[in-house]
Chains A and B, each alone.
Chain A
Amino acid sequence: MLWQRSEHQAPPHHVPPIIPGPDSVRQAALQASWRRDRLVARRRIAWRWVVWYFQRFSPHVLAGVALLVGATYLSGSLPSWPDGGHPTAGPAAAVALTPTPQPAAPEVQAPEPPMQQVEGAATDQPMLLRASSALEVHAAAPSPAADPKISPDTLSLKPENWLHSKEP
């Protein structure tokens, strides 16, 4: 009949709303709180570790970076060799290998020192000082052969080739 309704058109039964119990609410709130705690705590601990590592190792890192920058700057400012190669000896060796100036002429050689001069005392003097003083004497004063007023006894310097003469 028309007044009869089908099952689909039947009025819905009154379903009581599902009201969560207090325990389920409490558990849900606690679980949400734990989840939030976990995220916040993890982020905070990670940040604390990062800060600690930075404070602990930042001086070392900065020192390393400064060394690298300094080394790079110095290597870029060093003069390059003309042939593009590298020196085989250091500056000190190069100075040592520089040939000593030879005496200008045989006539400028001073005579042998007097007999009272001790041979050991002469060799105890620094070689560089002897050579430089000899050079100054030869450069400033005229040679004894040219100036006869200068006595040989006043010359306490040995000739330039004195050392070379004793070499084997």
Chain B
Amino acid sequence: MSHNPASTRLVPAERLSAITSLIAEGAVFDGNFHTTRDQGIKVDGQLKGNITFETGGTLHVGATGVIENTRLEADYVFIEGKVIGTVIARKALEITGSATLIGDASYDELIDMHPRARVRGKIEYRGDIDAAQN
């Protein structure tokens, strides 16, 4: 049995292991997910709605997951599936080679995108772009 989450580059493994909610493969969830606590959600099924973590939060879109008409906001966003909508990652945004993102994405600190990732939209860095660089 595998005890390790998917190989990530930016999103800490402990964040993925601390995911508290799961939309299983084959399930369809129609509605919004909102919390003020630092939790996490993994979407393997289909979700039509928004996901908002006011503080913290980890969003993992599995390879079989599909999120449509959405606005995702969390500290860590790890996309392996398909997302149609707007993505806001307050800390790190990671898009793997199996992912498809149709929409705009913004991040504050880190981003990682696989060369085979399919992105159709705008990628925006929300941090201070004129900050002193080392």
Contacts and interface: CB of A to CB of B under 8 A. Distances in A.
A37 interface: yes
Contacts of A54: none
A27 B20 CA distance: 9
B70 interface: no
A45 B97 contact: yes
Interface string A27-56: 101110111111011001100110010000
User: Which secondary structure dominates where chain B touches chain A?
Assistant: loop
Contacts of A44: 63, 97-98
A36 B64 contact: yes
Given A30-B19, A31-B2, A41-B6, A36 B25 contact: yes
Interface residues on chain A, size class:
10 to 19
A41 B2 contact: no
Interface string B1-27: 111111000000000110110101100
22 contacts: A26-B22, A29-B24, A30-B22, A31-B1, A33-B24, A34-B2, A35-B1, A36-B44, A36-B63, A37-B62, A37-B63, A38-B6, A40-B98, A41-B6, A41-B80, A41-B96, A41-B97, A41-B98, A44-B97, A45-B96, A45-B98, A45-B114
Shortest Cβ-Cβ A-B pairs, 3 listed: A40-B63, A41-B98, A44-B98
Given A30-B16, A34-B6, A41-B96, 18 more contacts: A26-B22, A29-B22, A29-B24, A30-B22, A33-B25, A33-B44, A34-B4, A36-B44, A36-B63, A37-B44, A40-B63, A41-B63, A44-B63, A44-B97, A44-B98, A45-B98, A45-B116, A48-B98
